[in-house]
Amino acid sequence: MKNITYEVNAPVDERDLSTLFKASGIKRPSDDLPRLRSMLDHADITLTAWDNNQLVGIARAITDYSYCCYLSDLAVDSIYQQEGIGKRLVDMLREQIGEEVTLILLASPTAMEYYPKLGFEKIDNGFRVLRRR
């Protein structure tokens, strides 16, 4: 039986994050452990889901806590998907940032149907400059 617990800003090992990213199917630099460590260290909010000591979900966000928040990662181990973990992590993030802060994200093409179910509205007025690596 799965006993999922949730944490706010709990320490996360980059190796556990790598394992989770690979198990979730999300495209991230999973084998670049120093980069993953930096991603963890520089997030403003890290929300995690655990099955005992196993990291099974994460929401990692960058925010100013007053106007906007960027949800840069939402990943759930594929074995644990469809159990409401992603929704719970997003709900927790919304609680952390409050009602005056807009939550934004860039969705994978494969997740375009998922985010409206969590209350996200599709927008068309975004731009990006891609990273070089």
For 71-129, what is each residue's pLDDT tens digit? 999 999 999 999 999 999 999 999 999 999 999 998 888 888 888 888 899 888 888 78
Strands 54-63 and 68-76: antiparallel
CATH code at position 31: 3.40.630.30
Give the closest residue to 58 by CA, choosing from 35, 29, 26: 26
Residue 80 CB: number of other CB atoms within 10 A?
A: 20
CA distance 25 to 96: 26
SS3 110: helix
Query: How many domains are contained in the chain?
Result: 1
Its pTM stands at 0.91
Residue numbers of the domain that contains 23: 4-118
Residue-averaged pLDDT of the chain: 93
